[in-house]
Amino acid sequence: MTQELTAEQPANPEILEQHPVIVVDIDGVLFDTPQHAVNRWNAKHGTTYVVEDIFDHNAKHNKERGVGRHYHDDGSEIDPVTGERFDDIFYGAQKDIANYLLMPGAREVLARLKREYGASVHALTARDKSNLEDATLTALGEHFGVGEAEEHLIDELHFSGDPDFIGETQADKGTILRDKLGAHIMVEDSIANAKSSKKANVATFVLSRAYNQTGHDWSSEETAPDWNTLYRLISKSLDEQGFRKVRR
């Protein structure tokens, strides 16, 4: 299910006292969209880019001509998302749900956290809801399940804003996490978003990717090379926050 982030939907403190709320980003955390995007781009345009050429440590992609967008002067190809005359490396991959690359261990670790801690898991994305809601729900539903059913791993999907305006919309991500979702844990690949979350007093961990390892001062102690390490960091933090395992 999806839920609009509005002030009329505050977190229930009675529930949060018993069950931790874990929030995860989607691109670069649940799905390896950056690698998927570069693979598609190289195959289509005959280039040899690696992810570090396209994405920076804030997970923003380079949209300069020839390095993330390919313009068609004759207008023969129209981008299906924006209606403009270019291909976009990232948005094209987000639409290509049949070839999504699932991050190894993500499904298993989320299932374990829900089982052991009774955690509520929310997906929070900067994708454009108006263009990508259906694709996102389809992909999450196929690989994780979305909704209240016991077998589903994602309780709710939330959209924080247009990914092209990270500097404007993502400043509020910490507020969304703390005040509207009641988050206790956030998992990110963007250093900027991770810092915003941590500033809002949400325990935040960064999944290390090829593109986010340099150019910043984020602590290595709050960085994980894989989802198995994320499990250890998250469970340690939940224990420190006073949560206890309800099942093993």
Residue owning tokens 């040899």:
48
Nearest to 113 by CA among 155, 74, 81, 52: 155
Give the three-state DSSP class for 48.
Answer: coil
Using pLDDT thresholds of 50, 70 and 90, give the confidence band for residue 75: low
Is the pLDDT assigned to residue 2 strictly greater than 60? Answer: no
Cα dihedral 33, 39, 42, 45 sign: negative
Q: What is the mean pLDDT of the chain?
A: 84
CATH superfamily of 13-32+101-240: HAD superfamily/HAD-like (3.40.50.1000)
- pLDDT over threshold 50, residue 38: yes
pLDDT of residue 142: 96
Q: What residues does 65 pair with on adjacent strands?
A: 69
Q: What is the pLDDT of residue 86?
A: 60
Q: What is the DSSP letter of 142?
A: H
pLDDT for 122 equals 96
* Out of 104-113, 129-138, 168-177, least confident range: 168-177
Give pLDDT, residue 224: 98
Q: How buried is 12 (Cβ within 10 angstroms: 0-12 exposed, 13-18 middle, 19+ buried)?
A: exposed
Average confidence (pLDDT) over 4-26: 60
- What contacts 25, CB < 8 A, 6 or more positions away? 123, 124, 125, 186, 187, 188, 189, 190, 193
What is the Cα–Cα distance from 107 to 85, expressed in whole angstroms?
Answer: 37
Enumerate the domain spans of the chain: 13-32+101-240, 33-99
pLDDT, tens digit (0-9, with 9 covering 90-100), for 145-202? 999 888 999 999 998 864 433 344 444 566 677 778 899 999 999 999 999 899 889 9
Give the distance, in angstroms, between the CA of residue 189 and the centroid of all CA atoms in the same chain.
7
Q: 140 vs 59, 135, 221, CA distance in Å?
A: 20, 9, 29
What's the pTM value of the predicted model, to 2 decimals? 0.84
